[in-house]
Amino acid sequence: MDATLQCITMFKPVLSCSDGNGFPPLDTQFQELKLGDWPIFALLSQRGSISYLDQTMAHYRVHGSNSWNNRPADYKLRAIEQMAWYLHERMDANSKDIWQDTILALAFKDLALAVRSFSPIKFLARLKRFIGHSRQFRKPFWIFKSLWPYYKANYLNG
């Protein structure tokens, strides 16, 4: 089954957002992603505009056999990071900054989880990884420019 057809059969709700321009080509790396709805919407946004309907169109149900919510935090973090790298490589230049910030935020969260584990080896590995991403994206002050304003607005001004 080709990737586009597989996507249509796996993620039916996505069809409601297509405007007739068709699905973007989905490669084998897409098929390796642990989640598909977020990247599909992001890729579709590159092919046209997205509108918001202020109406309930579906109901998200959390239940005991939910495969995503029952996964460990580390699994979800890795899956979202894998998706962010996938989209960083495929989105247009206007979106690169957003995906770089997402990757840095995930690396920082991973670093915070390592602190909570009280494992110096894990902490140092995650710190090295976070610093490496900061250098790669040329954002050495990302914590102060992006994370601190968010934290201040959401947690200190409450």
Q: Tell whether the model's pLDDT for residue 5 goes beyond 60.
A: no
**pTM for this one?**
0.75
The tally of CA atoms less than 13 A away on the side-chain side of residue 56 is 3
Sign of CA dihedral 94, 43, 14, 69: negative
Residue 22's pLDDT band (cuts 50, 70, 90): low
Cα angle 89, 46, 87 (rounded to 5 degrees) comes to 25
- Residue identified by tokens 């304003």 is 149
The domain total for the chain is: 1
- Quote the CA–CA distance of 7 and 73 in Å, as a whole number: 25
CB 8 within 8 A of CB 23: yes
Cα angle 42-48-51, degrees, rounded to a multiple of 5: 80
Cα four-point dihedral sign 141, 153, 79, 124: positive
pLDDT, position 32: 93
Domain region containing 53: 3-156
**What tens digit of pLDDT does each residue of 91-150 get?**
888 889 999 999 999 999 999 889 988 999 999 999 999 999 999 999 988 888 887 887
